[in-house]
Amino acid sequence: MTSVVTTLEKIPMETRATDALRELIVSGTIRPGSRITEVGLSGDMQISRATIRAALHKLVTEGLVLRVPYTGWAVVALTPHDVWELYTLRSGLERLAAQLVARNVTDKQASAMQEALQALIRECERGNRNRIAETDFNLHKTIVMQAAHGRLETQYRLIEQQTRMYIRSSDALIATPSIIIDQHKPIVAAILAGNPKLAGQLSEEHNLTEGAKLADHLRKQAMILLQKTKKNTKVSSKPSRQRRVS
């Protein structure tokens, strides 16, 4: 226990603040589009504003936070175009990773992917949506890491945190967690079977299909919000009737 505490004490406060804020955002505790302030976060987390500011700047580079001129900061809200960029990029990166691993899968690589898949299955059976999203992402990342392709890993890390947000939003649209299991089993099976063509194809199709669903959902939500805004504007613009005084 002492060694664990000592290790935690050696972690810089800025890193701890960044990690804590990242998890609050990715988990949805701080909702997409929310405005956040250094003063508010400093008070809530009992950390100096300078440390909070440094953490927020780090999260900007990860694509989770935006700097809003004169007003502070805001959590990124993925737009349909953001989702399109992410799923088209992911489909290419993950297709390549699946193909590379499938070409010469080792026992160690197979074990890592099987463990990641089993973790996803366990969480789907338990039904905790946040844990499902995390193990879903971890399975995809595990496949990428097993490809032993340094530049591929570097590119994937650039979109890692936004991808975690993306997967959480995408998985939330799926009514039954068992469907998530059915989506991923064939990909892992094709890799373990040493079939690069099928593994790459299934990985790409999964990303493109689920990404398109999420983008379409966000477009519909935006249209609903726009219609409500127009309706409220019309109501507020109607002149009020004044009662006649006899």
Contacts 24+ apart (CB under 8 A), 192-195: 192/105, 192/110, 192/113, 192/114, 193/102, 194/102, 194/103, 194/104, 194/105, 195/102
pTM for this entry: 0.84
The closest of 94, 181, 186, 189 to 135, measured between CA atoms, is 181
Residue 244's pLDDT band, with cuts at 50, 70 and 90, is low
Average pLDDT over residues 136-162: 96
User: What is the pLDDT, as a whole number, of residue 70?
Assistant: 82
User: What is the pLDDT, as a whole number, of residue 5?
Assistant: 47
Domain 80-219: CATH architecture, name and number where available = Up-down Bundle (1.20)
pLDDT at position 246 over 80: no
Dihedral, CA of residue 149, residue 25, residue 180 and residue 124, to nearest 10: 110
pLDDT in tens, 4-40: 444 445 689 999 999 999 999 998 899 999 999 999 9
* Residue spans per domain, the chain: 2-75, 80-219
CATH number of 2-75: 3.30.497.10, 1.10.10.10, 3.40.50.2000, 1.20.140.10? Answer: 1.10.10.10
